[in-house]
Amino acid sequence: MKQDRQQELHFEDLAKQFTEDISRSKRIFSMEDAMQDNTMRKSVQKHRRKMKRKTVLEYAIAFSAIAVGLPVLLWYLYRQFLLFRQMPEVVQFYLQRPVLGVATLLGGGLFAWALYHVKK
């Protein structure tokens, strides 16, 4: 009985010591505390820069694919299938309405960007 009580007290002391050790070596949980810790702040900043570069790269890939792919696609369709027999009229239409041409290009870019992200 006395030995059980001593063992129980011993385990309680171990648990208390463990809890104190954990609380002393506790990692940072709040973003404010993280920004005060120099190593953690640098790590957070590095991660943010990496995500920003990744986003810029995704936009660059999408818009360059549109810039290269759209003329190639139009040329292919024109040469192979002669679907655009009135191509000069289409070009003239967009030259007379540049805002509509830019809106069409941006709409195509947005569509390509959406298709790119649907796969993920």
pLDDT one-digit tens code per residue, 53-110: 888 888 888 888 888 888 888 777 777 766 556 667 777 777 788 888 788 888 888 8
Q: What value does the mean pLDDT take over residues 32-61?
A: 79
Q: Is the pTM above the cut of 0.75?
A: no
Quote the tokens at residue 74.
């139009």
Q: How confident is the model at residue 34 (pLDDT cuts 50, 70, 90)?
A: low
State the burial class of residue 7 (Cβ atoms within 10 Å of its Cβ: 0-12, 13-18, 19+).
exposed
